[in-house]
Amino acid sequence: MDKSVKCAIGESLVLAELLKRGHEAYIAHGPTQQGWDIVIVKDDNIKRVQVKTIGWPKHNQRTVTVSNSLKFNYLVVVLLNLDEPHSRYLVCDKQEIDSLLSAENDERVSKSRSWYIAKDINNDPSINKFENSWSTIGNP
């Protein structure tokens, strides 16, 4: 399956979860959206959600890459299971993911860092706190 199709599926799934929970949320498109995929609006407050989607568990994707320059408040990693009816969601505050990401590497032009999910989800029980942790984003 094409990467852009997986990304669109992940964004749509996250948008549906947010709407189901009562948030006023929208897919963000266009030049004003830089480094985030969904916007949540509550009164005058705006929250930005970055969605990363990886094929899971059989589709050989094991990491997500996050740029330090991205201007999001929350990261939702969709573990997209194309063989089963349910996917998994890891919901993190931006500050929480710093310790999960690889060390900064000056050789990377983009200054991006990676989260090796395949290792952490199977070996680090503290990752469980992120699974379906939609309350991290707050109440609608």
Predicted local confidence at residue 59, as pLDDT: 62
Predicted local confidence at residue 1, as pLDDT: 73
Q: Which residue in 82, 74, 91, 85 sits closest to 130, CA to CA? A: 91
Taking the C-alpha atoms of residue 136 and residue 96, their distance in angstroms, rounded to an integer, is: 10
**What is the CATH architecture of 3-137?**
3-Layer(aba) Sandwich (3.40)
Predicted local confidence at residue 66, as pLDDT: 81
Look-up of token digits 């740029």: 67
pLDDT at 104 over 70: yes
Taking the C-alpha atoms of residue 22 and residue 20, their distance in angstroms, rounded to an integer, is: 5
pLDDT at 15 over 70: yes
pLDDT at 122 over 80: no
Q: What is the mean pLDDT of the chain?
A: 85
Q: Domain coordinates of the chain in residue numbers?
A: 3-137
Predicted local confidence at residue 67, as pLDDT: 75
What pTM value is reported for the model? 0.87
Taking the C-alpha atoms of residue 70 and residue 27, their distance in angstroms, rounded to an integer, is: 16
Average pLDDT over residues 48-71: 79
Taking the C-alpha atoms of residue 19 and residue 12, their distance in angstroms, rounded to an integer, is: 10
pLDDT at 16 over 90: yes
